[in-house]
Amino acid sequence: MLCCPGCVAHRDAGWTPETLLAVYGPMFQVADRAYFPALARAFPPPPRTPAQHIKPETYTWLKKSEFLSEFREQQLDFLKKYETSNNLKFWYALDPLVHNYNQNLIF
């Protein structure tokens, strides 16, 4: 876990290789790379939620967030692909932060 600044920051926050794989591993099912939302990230991450409808506000929140740009772009891509295909691989490739935000929107 000393290969990049993001891994080092995650390790220092309490992440283990197992938790990194649990959170970022599903991204590798649909993409060649997995991006961190930030170099330093709180531990533990929120849990993933069961698949659900993507609320439009989730797109807006993600676009305006201060997450790293590669993370935002990748997550927006996963959102679009999930909505158009309804393929659960794209749902689980979404970061738990995105799941948590989408689930907590109240209408």
Q: What is the pLDDT of residues 60-104, one digit of tens each?
A: 999 999 999 999 999 999 999 999 999 999 999 999 999 999 988
Choose between 1 and 100: higher pLDDT: 100
Three-state SS for 7-51 is HHHHHHCCCCHHHHHHHHHHHHHCCCCCCCCCCCCCCCCCCCCCC
Q: How confident is the model at residue 3 (pLDDT cuts 50, 70, 90)?
A: confident
Domains of the chain: total: 1
Residue ranges making up the domain that contains 27: 5-104
Largest Cα separation within the chain, whole Å, is 43
Least confident range from 48-52, 53-57, 68-72, 101-105: namely: 101-105
The pTM assigned to this predicted structure is 0.91
